[in-house]
Each structure stands twice: as structure tokens, then as C-alpha cells.
Chains A and B, each alone.
Chain A
Amino acid sequence: MSGTDKTLFASGSDAALDALLSETRKREPEIPEALTARILADAAQVSAQIAATRAARSVRMERAPARGRAFGAGFADWLRALGGFPAAAAFCAALGLGAATGAAAPSWTGTTIQSDGLASLEDGQLLVSQTIDLLAADDPMEGS
């Protein structure tokens, strides 16, 4: 802004203000290389963290069904030890848990309970496994 610009400036117009702002912006120094390096170092670090989180999540997802199967098998053993579903329902009712467990058992899996309870045990085992998978997939701590 010199020469005729001086006249522009003296006019106090919007164009003069724009010219002054433009002149000021053009004098802004470039982004320092050291800052760019810091930003990219951060990017590399975050990238590594993202990869590590993904790897950990993948391992958990692989292990979750196995955990579910182990839990389901233990649950099945417990029911068998009690003498199958009817006996387990009676046991739960005796403990005052009838409404929560024994009484709800027939509709729990949506399948017909067989007298020895084996079909339900398999369904129950599957349901437990699926639930654990879902819980593992929806773990709110994932990605933190």
C-alpha cells in the first residue's frame, strides 16, 4: 500500500481496509518446519495407538466366543449336576428365584423344554455365547 494506495487509505473505504488486511495477511510467515514436524510426529504416534487398539480389539473378538463356550459349558455342567432344567427350576424356586430363573426358563430360549433339558441346555449355551459376543462387541471401553 503506497502511492495511490495512500489515497485509498485516506478515503477510509472498505476497499482500503481490505487492502490493509490483505497486505497484513501476506506478511504472515509460513508455517515453521519445526511445527510441521511436531504435527506429523503426533500423527505417527496417534496412528500407532489406533493400530494397537485395533489389534487388541481383534484379539478380544477372537477370544470372546471361546470364553462364551467355556461359560456355557460350565453352566450346563451346573444344570446337569442339579438334574436338568426341571430340577434346576425347583432348586431356584426353593431359593426364591423362581420368577427370575426357573419359571422363566420355558420362554427363555423360545424353544420347547425337553424332559432331560438337553435341548434347552444347548440353546442356553448358544445364547450365553452370543450374549458374551455381543457384550464384547459393544464394550464401551473399546477404543478408549
Chain B
Amino acid sequence: MALEEADDDRLMALFAQGDQTAARLLTGRHASRVLRLARRMLNDEAEAEDVAQEAMLKLWRLAPDWRPGETKVSTWLHRVATNLCYDRLRRRREQPLDDEAAAEIPDPDLSAFERIDQAERAALTRAAIGELPERQRAALTLRHFAEVGNEEAAAALGVSVEAMESLLARARRGLKASLAARLGGWR
């Protein structure tokens, strides 16, 4: 079987034996989704990259003790990345935003839907996501940016599927309200 077709458990075992191709394949499969998750959780590219790197580093270190079938690599990574984001958000709350960071948050009154392009809408949407409560943001980000199913997102957050769905529903309601204020025209 070609290495590209090997499942994640097999790649973890191969990496633990020193196979760097397995590391490349695991990185290709998971790092970009972990990065997207961290970006939307933190709204800071440099911090998001640090989180993605740290989550992957923890995965490499775990490889010799990885137990196949116990959990999915993606679930494990999303859980670790989410917790790393929570840690950083907690630290951030202890420090006031500096001028540069504050300047990156778009003014909600600047643009009506008709006057802005896709890039601006995306920026406003990202800003609105950034204002959601942390757990709601994590739920929405896992589903819509890391593109994992409810079950896996629930496992990554350490909650039941029902709790995950509740968080997601609240996140979507909050996001709609926030976007209505930012973009105009949204009822």
C-alpha cells in the first residue's frame, strides 16, 4: 500500500520509527486545518502559526506512545489546538489590547453590504467571529473552518454532541446579530 493511502494511525507508527515522509503526510493532512482553527480563534496570524506549530510538536512527541484506534489524530489535534488558543486568550485578557491590535478590528459602522467587496465582507465576518464567546467561537470555527463534523467537534471540545450543537446554534445566532449590525440589511 502506498504511504499516501496509509491511515493516520499507521503514519504515527511510521513516524515513531523515524519515517519523515510520514511526518510530511501528517502535516499535509492536518496542519492547515489546525491553522485555520487557530486563526479564527485568535484573529492573529503570528499567534495562530505558533499554535499550529505547537500542536503539531505535541503530536510528534506523542508518537511513540500513540494508541491506534483510541482517538483520531484530527480530533486530538483540534482539542490540543483549541486548548492552546484558550490559554492564549486567557493571557490576552490579562493584557489590554495595544494600539496596533485594536486598529485591526474593523469599525462596524463603516460599510453597508452593498458597498463592500468579498474581501471586506470576509474581514467583517472574521471580526464578528472574533467577538463571539470563546466556546461558541471554538464550536463555529471547528465546524466551518476546520470543517469537522459535529461528533468530532464535540470530542475536540470535550462536550456531548448535544452541547456542541447548542454552542453552535448560539454562535450562529450571535454571528447573525453581529453581522446585521456590521453589514446592514440582515434581519
Contact = CB atoms under 8 A, between A and B. Distances in A.
Give the contact-size bracket for chain A. Answer: 35 or more
Contact of A31 (B31, B147, B187): B31
B180 A12 contact: yes
Given A20-B179, A35-B35, A51-B18, A42 B118 contact: no
B4 interface: no
Given A24-B121, A27-B118, A39-B56, A46 B175 contact: no
A104 interface: no
B125 A47 contact: no
Interface in B16-65: 16, 18, 20, 23-24, 27, 31-32, 35-36, 39, 49, 52-53, 56-57, 60-61, 63-65
A142 to B, nearest CB: 11
B92 interface: no
Interface string A20-45: 11111101101110011011101110
B3 interface: no
Interface in A44-71: 44, 46-47, 50-51, 53
Contacts of B39: 28
Interface of A is mostly: helix
B61 A46 contact: yes
Task: Give the secondary structure class of B's interface.
Answer: helix
A140 to B, nearest CB: 14
B168 to A, nearest CB: 11
Nearest to A25: B145
B31 A39 contact: yes
B185 A10 contact: yes
B10 interface: no
A50 to B, nearest CB: 6
B81 to A, nearest CB: 13
Residue of A14, A20, A22 most packed against chain B (CB within 10 A) = A20
Contact of B27 (A1, A43, A46): A43
A47 B18 contact: yes
Interface of A: 1-2, 6, 9-12, 14, 16-17, 20-25, 27-28, 30-32, 35-36, 38-40, 42-44, 46-47, 50-51, 53, 143
5 contacts: A6-B114, A35-B52, A40-B20, A40-B23, A44-B23
A-B pairs, 6 with minimum CB distance: A43-B23, A46-B60, A12-B187, A31-B32, A24-B122, A27-B122
